[in-house]
Amino acid sequence: MEKSDGRNTEERWERETGDPQAISALVAMLGDGDCLLRLKAAAELKEIGTPAISALCQALTSEKLSVRMEAARILGEIGDSSVIPVLAQVLRDDDNRAVCQAAAEALARIGSPAVPALIQVLKRSRRPDVRRGAASALWWIGDPRAVPALIGALEKDEDADVRWVAAEALGKIGNPKAIPVLIGALRGDKDECVRYSAAVALGEIGDPQAVPALIKAVEDKDPHVRRAVKEALEKICAGTSPTQTQNIQ
């Protein structure tokens, strides 16, 4: 029993001090068929932190889907900004959507330092799912630096899912510069989800200049859009003084 306890203590010491062999063994366990074993390995790698980064970055090229996904997730939880270029490359280039999504979520967890890389992916990727992942990460982070790129995506992206995520992100960030393009989307986008998200975003920003466009959109053919428009009007009017209301009218 003492021998076994000693061995367990030694293994914990190796992991906690960043022993490369112990880390490699844990990374290999990310592809194990036993779910509990994978969870345990992931938790230990997260606890090891910085010393595990190199091995986890290498694991992003693994043939096993579960290893790539878990490696991306753990890197996001460790939160070291040095891995941003590697995760951005995975987001751009991995051929599996779930892995791309895991990379996008990891970048979102890292936060503001990842914004420039996410903006580049949103602007340049030819894959709608990748652009959508980048826009979702920018929504999660909520950094005002992303506003111009998100406005461009809402105006010009051919994929409706990218456009509605961009609209949601603009509403969360709350920059009034987005109001004209959100009004344009509310008036003219063919996709009801985009119009819905634009209405919600205008309500979140809460600027009275959106009221005339919202009033016109009350007659939108989609019931969900109409409801979002009415809720947006209620939000704006609740935060608007009587003088402002008269000026709008």
DSSP structure class, residue 62: -
Percent of the chain with pLDDT over 70: 88
Q: What is the pLDDT of residue 12?
A: 54
Residues 6+ apart with CB under 8 A from 145: 115, 116, 119
**pLDDT per residue as tens digits for the range 184-206:** 999 999 999 999 999 999 999 99
Least Cα distance to 132 among 100, 178, 96, 110 occurs for 100
Q: What is the DSSP string of 106-165?
A: HHHHH-GGGHHHHHHHHHH-S-HHHHHHHHHHHHHH--GGGHHHHHHHHHH-S-HHHHHH
Low-confidence winner among 19-33, 73-87, 94-108, 112-126 (lowest mean pLDDT): 19-33
Sorted by sequence, the CB contacts under 8 Å of residue 193 that are 6+ apart come out as 160, 161, 164
Mean pLDDT estimate for the chain: 91
CA distance 194 to 207: 19
The residues spanned by each domain of the chain are 1-78
Residue 69, classed as helix, strand or coil, is helix
Q: Are 211 and 183 in contact (CB under 8 A)?
A: no
Q: How confident is the model at residue 232 (pLDDT cuts 50, 70, 90)?
A: very high
Query: What are the tens digits of pLDDT across the range 143-186?
Result: 999 999 999 999 999 999 999 999 999 999 999 999 999 999 99
Residue 205 and residue 239 in contact, taking contact as beta carbons nearer than 8 Å: no
- Average pLDDT of 115-128? 98
Residue 50: burial class (beta carbons within 10 Å; 0-12, 13-18, 19+): exposed
| Nearest-angstrom CA–CA distance, 218 and 232 | 10
Nearest of 44, 42, 43, 47 to residue 59 by alpha carbon: 42
The terminus-to-terminus CA distance of the chain in angstroms comes to 83
- Would you state the structure tokens that stand for residue 13, as one six-digit string? 């010491």
Model pLDDT for residues 3-49, shown as the tens digit of each residue:
445 445 445 545 555 688 899 999 999 998 889 999 999 999 999 99
| pLDDT (0 to 100) of residue 32 | 86
What crossing angle do the helices spanning 179-188 and 160-173 adopt, rounded to 10°?
140
User: What is the CATH number that goes with domain 1-78?
Assistant: 1.25.10
Question: What was the pLDDT predicted at 240?
Answer: 63
pLDDT of 173 = 97
Rounded Cα distance, 65 and 101, in Å: 12
Mean of pLDDT values over 99-120: 98
- For 123, how many CA atoms within 13 A lie in the half-sphere containing its CB? 12
* Nearest alpha carbon to residue 79 among 119, 49, 56, 42: 49
Q: Is the pLDDT higher at 22 or at 122?
A: 122
3-class SS at 184?
helix
130 touches 165 (CB < 8 A):
no
Global pTM value:
0.86
